Amino acid sequence: MSGKIELRGLTKIFGPEPEMALKLARDGLTKHQLLDTMGHVLALKDIDLDIEAEYIHVVMGLSGSGKSTLIRLVNRLIEPTAGSVTIDGQDITKFTANELMEFRRQKIAMVFQRFALFPHKNVRDNVAYGLEVQGIEKKVRHTRAQEWIERVGLTGYEGRVPAELSGGMQQRVGLARALCAGAEILLMDEPFGALDPLIRCEMQDVLLALQAELQKTILFITHDLDEALRLGDRVAIMRDGNLLQDASPEDVVLRPADSHIAEFVQGINRGRALTVRAILSKGHIDPHIATSGPHIPAAMALEDAAALLAREGAATGLVVGPGDQVMGRLTLAEITQAMTRPAVPA
């Protein structure tokens, strides 16, 4: 299946002689070897990735793994050393300066970790900035900005400047600004990374609620696994410029591609990260064996399902799909077992 954004062989090397370094990287030199021998940084190596329209695709990895490099290549803030970035069938690495400018104005918006708001513009003008750049008249700009200000919960703060707002509120402005310009694609580079845990969680809720309605194509970067699993329809995991796994959040947790990822997911709260659907084995999908018991929505988190069964005093529940059709059954024991963390093989 092709994606809305397709990355093919995407490679970025920082240093004065990237072509020569590229040859060595293709001969098999690692990031560390390349740094030692040539002082070049292999920030991204040969990435193939499809980002589907209307989903949140999270890119996760430790500091220095290449996440920001990847996102900067997607809106061509930097040029690739090799490979292509195709968006809606167009290779943006071939765009002329004018085409690139149009593309950035119309199609793509960015939300940054440090908000990057205009300090002297008030909330309304920050939110309306994208429309200003598009040459839209002031009255229309302000009406549209107002809609987004309301949507992100900032009504009453239109005239304030960023310094008068908390971090969470500033990022609401950042989000409203990105949405107000009408871009289909949002690039978010650790947008909630600078926020306190509680506010961060609140902003995740804001984003999920908006996304349920707007269905933007979102490339979301984080180094927080819980955030990745909570927000991502898909999660791509990177290390040292390589893509290690690109899968559903459930697969990352239940079927980690290597021991590094297994170690990473070891500590997460499975009860919250996994849904009932994820652990429903095929053998259970037999409507005849499942006739009674509380109904558990398939999309429910394991910990909520366990609580539901405990509350009802039931040992078995029926897992149901969106139309309340029975998909199978699960016992409380199966659910609690899936919530406990497995031992990591030595």
Ligand X SMILES: Nc1ncnc2c1ncn2[C@@H]1O[C@H](COP(=O)(O)OP(=O)(O)OP(=O)(O)O)[C@@H](O)[C@H]1O
In the complex, which residues of this chain contact Mg ion (CB under 5 A)?
Answer: 68
Q: Which two tokens stand for residue 173?
A: 């402005």
- Contact region with ligand X (CB under 6 A), list: 61-69, 94-102, 270-278, 283-291: 61-69
Nearest to 34 by CA among 9, 12, 49, 10: 12
- Nearest distance, CB of residue 243 and Mg ion, angstroms: 16
Phi, psi of 113 (to 5 degrees): -60, -45
Query: Which of Mg ion, ligand X, none binds 223 (CB below 5-8 Å, type-dependent)?
Result: ligand X
Helix (H, G, I), strand (E, B) or coil at 185: strand
What is the secondary structure of 79-118 as a DSSP string? Answer: --SEEEEEETTEEGGG--HHHHHHHHHHTEEEEETT----
| Site string (64-93) toward ligand X, x via CB under 6 A | xxxxxx------------------------
- Nearest distance, CB of residue 42 and ligand X, angstroms: 8
- Contact region with ligand X (CB under 6 A), list: 63-71, 89-97, 126-134, 282-290: 63-71
Q: Which two tokens stand for residue 269?
A: 């709260």
- Nearest distance, CB of residue 163 and Mg ion, angstroms: 25
Residue 135: partners with Cβ closer than 8 Å, 6 or more residues away: none
Closer of 69 and 245 to ligand X (Cβ): 69
Nearest to 280 by CA among 325, 228, 334, 220: 334
Closer of 114 and 121 to ligand X (Cβ): 114
- Contact region with ligand X (CB under 6 A), list: 57-65, 150-158, 201-209, 272-280: 57-65
Query: Which of ligand X, Mg ion, none binds 157 (CB below 5-8 Å, type-dependent)?
Result: none
Phi, psi of 33 (to 5 degrees): -65, -40
Closer of 68 and 86 to Mg ion (Cβ): 68
C-alpha separations of 318 from 15, 270, 290, 321 in Å: 58, 20, 7, 10
Closer of 186 and 306 to Mg ion (Cβ): 186
Helix boundaries (H) for 112-269 = 123-127, 129-133, 138-151, 167-180, 197-214, 225-231, 249-254, 259-266
What span, in angstroms and rounded, lies between the C-alpha atoms of 66 and 234? 18
| Site string (4-23) toward ligand X, x via CB under 6 A | ----------x---------
Closer of 68 and 146 to Mg ion (Cβ): 68
Q: Are 151 and 210 in contact (CB under 8 A)?
A: yes
Closer of 63 and 281 to ligand X (Cβ): 63
Please work out the total of residues on this chain that contact ligand X, with binding judged by CB under 6 A.
12
Which 213-232 residues touch ligand X, going by CB under 6 A? 223
Q: By CB under 6 A, tell whether 61 contacts ligand X.
A: yes
**Site residues (vs ligand X, CB under 6 A):** 14, 41, 43, 61, 63-69, 223
